[in-house]
Amino acid sequence: MINGWAGRKLSDAPKNGIDEARLEAGRLLFARECKFVLGAVSLSALPVTDLPEVAFAGRSNVGKSSLLNALTGRKSLARASNTPGRTRELNFFNLDERLMLVDLPGYGYARTSRITVEKWTALTRAYLKGRASLARCFLLIDSRHGIKPIDLEIMDEFDEAAVVYQIVLTKVDKIKQAERARTIAKTQKIIVKRPAAHPEVLVVSSLKGDGIALLRAHIASLACNEVHKSEESKE
Protein backbone atom coordinates (compact mmCIF):
# COMPACT_ATOMS: atom_id res chain seq x y z
CA MET A 1 0.00 0.00 0.00
CA ILE A 2 1.40 3.40 -0.99
CA ASN A 3 1.57 5.63 2.07
CA GLY A 4 -0.17 8.99 2.48
CA TRP A 5 2.96 11.12 2.14
CA ALA A 6 3.63 9.53 -1.25
CA GLY A 7 0.23 10.53 -2.57
CA ARG A 8 1.06 14.22 -2.52
CA LYS A 9 1.92 15.52 -5.98
CA LEU A 10 2.08 18.64 -8.09
CA SER A 11 -1.16 17.80 -9.83
CA ASP A 12 -1.99 21.36 -10.74
CA ALA A 13 1.40 22.08 -12.27
CA PRO A 14 1.51 23.63 -15.76
CA LYS A 15 2.66 21.31 -18.53
CA ASN A 16 6.01 22.96 -19.05
CA GLY A 17 6.95 23.35 -15.42
CA ILE A 18 5.52 24.50 -12.11
CA ASP A 19 4.49 27.92 -10.93
CA GLU A 20 6.88 30.45 -9.48
CA ALA A 21 5.44 30.09 -5.97
CA ARG A 22 6.39 26.43 -5.83
CA LEU A 23 9.81 27.07 -7.27
CA GLU A 24 10.30 29.71 -4.59
CA ALA A 25 9.10 27.29 -1.90
CA GLY A 26 11.75 24.84 -3.05
CA ARG A 27 14.45 27.51 -3.03
CA LEU A 28 13.54 28.66 0.46
CA LEU A 29 13.42 25.15 1.87
CA PHE A 30 16.86 24.24 0.58
CA ALA A 31 18.29 27.55 1.76
CA ARG A 32 17.60 26.42 5.32
CA GLU A 33 19.89 24.36 7.54
CA CYS A 34 20.53 20.78 6.47
CA LYS A 35 22.49 18.65 8.88
CA PHE A 36 23.77 15.10 8.91
CA VAL A 37 21.90 12.94 11.42
CA LEU A 38 23.46 9.48 11.17
CA GLY A 39 24.54 6.63 8.93
CA ALA A 40 22.52 3.46 9.57
CA VAL A 41 23.94 0.00 8.89
CA SER A 42 20.97 -1.89 10.36
CA LEU A 43 17.24 -1.40 10.84
CA SER A 44 17.72 -0.96 14.56
CA ALA A 45 19.98 2.02 13.85
CA LEU A 46 17.40 3.95 11.82
CA PRO A 47 16.50 7.32 13.36
CA VAL A 48 13.21 7.64 15.21
CA THR A 49 11.35 10.38 13.38
CA ASP A 50 7.89 11.27 12.15
CA LEU A 51 9.20 13.62 9.48
CA PRO A 52 8.47 12.67 5.87
CA GLU A 53 11.48 11.11 4.18
CA VAL A 54 12.73 11.48 0.62
CA ALA A 55 15.31 8.92 -0.50
CA PHE A 56 17.86 8.98 -3.33
CA ALA A 57 18.97 5.79 -5.05
CA GLY A 58 21.10 4.99 -8.07
CA ARG A 59 24.11 3.22 -9.48
CA SER A 60 27.32 3.91 -7.64
CA ASN A 61 28.72 6.39 -10.18
CA VAL A 62 25.47 8.16 -11.07
CA GLY A 63 26.28 11.36 -9.14
CA LYS A 64 24.13 11.04 -6.00
CA SER A 65 26.53 12.90 -3.73
CA SER A 66 26.99 15.70 -6.26
CA LEU A 67 23.23 16.05 -6.62
CA LEU A 68 22.63 16.25 -2.87
CA ASN A 69 25.34 18.90 -2.59
CA ALA A 70 23.84 20.85 -5.50
CA LEU A 71 20.33 20.70 -4.01
CA THR A 72 21.48 22.01 -0.64
CA GLY A 73 24.02 24.45 -2.03
CA ARG A 74 26.79 22.84 0.01
CA LYS A 75 30.04 21.47 -1.32
CA SER A 76 30.53 18.64 1.13
CA LEU A 77 27.20 17.72 2.72
CA ALA A 78 27.41 14.34 1.03
CA ARG A 79 30.92 13.03 0.57
CA ALA A 80 31.79 11.88 -2.92
CA SER A 81 34.18 8.95 -2.91
CA ASN A 82 36.89 8.27 -5.46
CA THR A 83 35.81 4.63 -5.23
CA PRO A 84 32.18 4.32 -6.39
CA GLY A 85 30.17 1.82 -4.38
CA ARG A 86 32.09 2.32 -1.15
CA THR A 87 29.18 3.61 0.94
CA ARG A 88 27.20 0.86 2.65
CA GLU A 89 25.06 2.98 4.95
CA LEU A 90 21.70 4.71 4.78
CA ASN A 91 22.72 8.31 5.42
CA PHE A 92 20.07 10.61 6.91
CA PHE A 93 20.06 14.42 6.66
CA ASN A 94 17.55 16.65 8.48
CA LEU A 95 16.39 19.56 6.31
CA ASP A 96 14.99 22.42 8.41
CA GLU A 97 13.10 20.01 10.72
CA ARG A 98 10.61 19.61 7.87
CA LEU A 99 12.02 16.76 5.85
CA MET A 100 14.56 13.96 6.06
CA LEU A 101 16.80 13.33 3.04
CA VAL A 102 18.05 9.75 2.82
CA ASP A 103 21.10 8.81 0.74
CA LEU A 104 20.79 5.10 -0.06
CA PRO A 105 23.85 2.96 -0.84
CA GLY A 106 24.88 2.88 -4.48
CA TYR A 107 24.61 -0.34 -6.43
CA GLY A 108 26.04 -2.06 -9.46
CA TYR A 109 29.68 -0.98 -9.49
CA ALA A 110 32.29 -2.66 -11.70
CA ARG A 111 32.70 -6.46 -11.63
CA THR A 112 30.83 -6.99 -8.41
CA SER A 113 27.44 -5.76 -9.59
CA ARG A 114 25.54 -8.87 -8.51
CA ILE A 115 27.14 -8.90 -5.07
CA THR A 116 26.57 -5.17 -4.77
CA VAL A 117 22.88 -5.51 -5.55
CA GLU A 118 22.51 -8.26 -2.97
CA LYS A 119 24.19 -6.13 -0.31
CA TRP A 120 22.15 -3.10 -1.33
CA THR A 121 18.85 -4.96 -1.16
CA ALA A 122 19.48 -6.60 2.21
CA LEU A 123 19.08 -3.43 4.27
CA THR A 124 17.42 -1.19 1.71
CA ARG A 125 14.59 -3.63 0.92
CA ALA A 126 13.74 -3.82 4.62
CA TYR A 127 13.86 -0.03 4.83
CA LEU A 128 11.60 0.42 1.80
CA LYS A 129 9.01 -2.07 3.00
CA GLY A 130 8.89 -0.95 6.60
CA ARG A 131 9.27 2.84 6.52
CA ALA A 132 5.82 4.41 6.66
CA SER A 133 7.29 7.92 6.57
CA LEU A 134 8.98 7.38 3.19
CA ALA A 135 7.28 9.84 0.84
CA ARG A 136 9.17 9.17 -2.38
CA CYS A 137 12.38 7.74 -3.72
CA PHE A 138 14.19 9.54 -6.51
CA LEU A 139 15.93 6.99 -8.71
CA LEU A 140 18.93 8.55 -10.43
CA ILE A 141 19.84 7.36 -13.92
CA ASP A 142 22.89 8.51 -15.86
CA SER A 143 21.41 10.18 -18.95
CA ARG A 144 24.37 9.06 -21.06
CA HIS A 145 23.55 5.38 -20.49
CA GLY A 146 19.84 5.25 -19.74
CA ILE A 147 18.07 2.57 -17.72
CA LYS A 148 20.13 -0.62 -17.44
CA PRO A 149 18.99 -4.14 -16.41
CA ILE A 150 20.35 -3.55 -12.93
CA ASP A 151 18.16 -0.44 -12.63
CA LEU A 152 15.14 -2.50 -13.66
CA GLU A 153 15.87 -4.86 -10.76
CA ILE A 154 15.79 -1.95 -8.34
CA MET A 155 12.57 -0.68 -9.93
CA ASP A 156 11.10 -4.14 -9.33
CA GLU A 157 11.98 -3.72 -5.65
CA PHE A 158 10.17 -0.37 -5.54
CA ASP A 159 7.11 -1.75 -7.32
CA GLU A 160 6.96 -4.75 -4.99
CA ALA A 161 7.27 -2.51 -1.93
CA ALA A 162 4.69 -0.05 -3.35
CA VAL A 163 7.10 2.85 -2.85
CA VAL A 164 6.51 5.78 -5.20
CA TYR A 165 9.69 6.47 -7.14
CA GLN A 166 10.55 9.14 -9.68
CA ILE A 167 13.26 8.92 -12.32
CA VAL A 168 15.87 11.68 -12.35
CA LEU A 169 18.21 11.70 -15.35
CA THR A 170 21.59 13.04 -14.24
CA LYS A 171 24.54 14.59 -16.07
CA VAL A 172 22.36 16.02 -18.86
CA ASP A 173 25.00 18.66 -19.56
CA LYS A 174 27.06 15.88 -21.14
CA ILE A 175 24.54 15.03 -23.87
CA LYS A 176 22.99 17.05 -26.68
CA GLN A 177 19.39 18.29 -26.64
CA ALA A 178 18.24 15.76 -29.24
CA GLU A 179 19.73 12.88 -27.29
CA ARG A 180 18.18 14.24 -24.12
CA ALA A 181 14.73 14.19 -25.70
CA ARG A 182 15.23 10.62 -26.95
CA THR A 183 16.41 9.46 -23.51
CA ILE A 184 13.41 11.04 -21.80
CA ALA A 185 11.04 9.39 -24.29
CA LYS A 186 12.68 5.97 -23.84
CA THR A 187 12.55 6.34 -20.07
CA GLN A 188 8.86 7.28 -20.10
CA LYS A 189 8.11 4.26 -22.26
CA ILE A 190 9.78 1.98 -19.72
CA ILE A 191 8.00 3.38 -16.67
CA VAL A 192 4.51 3.82 -18.12
CA LYS A 193 3.27 0.41 -16.97
CA ARG A 194 5.15 0.33 -13.67
CA PRO A 195 2.65 0.65 -10.81
CA ALA A 196 4.77 2.70 -8.39
CA ALA A 197 6.58 4.92 -10.90
CA HIS A 198 5.83 8.65 -10.92
CA PRO A 199 4.92 9.61 -14.51
CA GLU A 200 7.13 12.71 -14.73
CA VAL A 201 10.81 12.23 -15.63
CA LEU A 202 13.12 14.94 -14.30
CA VAL A 203 16.48 15.95 -15.79
CA VAL A 204 19.33 17.58 -13.89
CA SER A 205 22.92 18.67 -14.12
CA SER A 206 24.65 19.09 -10.78
CA LEU A 207 27.54 20.81 -12.56
CA LYS A 208 25.52 23.37 -14.55
CA GLY A 209 22.53 23.62 -12.21
CA ASP A 210 20.01 22.55 -14.85
CA GLY A 211 16.80 21.18 -13.34
CA ILE A 212 17.88 21.73 -9.73
CA ALA A 213 15.17 24.33 -8.99
CA LEU A 214 12.46 22.05 -10.38
CA LEU A 215 13.67 19.07 -8.36
CA ARG A 216 13.76 21.23 -5.23
CA ALA A 217 10.14 22.22 -5.87
CA HIS A 218 9.06 18.60 -6.22
CA ILE A 219 10.81 17.71 -2.97
CA ALA A 220 9.39 20.73 -1.15
CA SER A 221 5.87 19.59 -2.03
CA LEU A 222 6.50 16.52 0.14
CA ALA A 223 7.83 18.38 3.18
CA CYS A 224 5.93 19.37 6.31
CA ASN A 225 4.37 22.81 5.95
CA GLU A 226 5.81 23.88 9.29
CA VAL A 227 8.88 23.05 11.34
CA HIS A 228 8.14 19.74 13.00
CA LYS A 229 10.44 18.55 15.75
CA SER A 230 11.31 14.89 15.29
CA GLU A 231 11.99 12.53 18.16
CA GLU A 232 15.71 12.65 17.40
CA SER A 233 15.82 16.44 17.58
CA LYS A 234 13.90 16.53 20.85
CA GLU A 235 16.54 14.53 22.67
pLDDT of residue 82: 43
- What's residue 117's pLDDT? 58
User: What does pTM read for this prediction?
Assistant: 0.84
- Span 134-166, pLDDT tens digits: 999 999 999 999 999 989 988 998 998 899 999
Secondary structure of residue 63 in the 3-state scheme: coil
β partners of residue 34: 95
Per-residue pLDDT, 224:
80
Dihedral (CA of 164, 143, 15, 219) sign: positive
Q: What is the pLDDT of residue 42?
A: 84
Residues pairing with 139 in the sheet: 57, 167
Q: In terms of residues, how long is the chain?
A: 235
CB-side neighbour CA atoms (13 Å) of 190:
19
Q: What is the pLDDT of residues 176-190, one digit of tens each?
A: 999 999 999 999 999
- Alpha helices by DSSP H, listed for 90-176, are 113-130, 149-161
Structural domains of the chain, ranges and CATH numbers in brackets = 17-225 (3.40.50.300)
Encode 202-211: b = buried (16+ Cβ within 10 Å), e = exposed: bbbbbeeebb
Mean pLDDT of residues grouped by 10 in the chain (235 residues)? 43 54 94 92 88 92 90 74 56 94 80 58 80 94 94 91 94 93 96 95 94 95 70 45
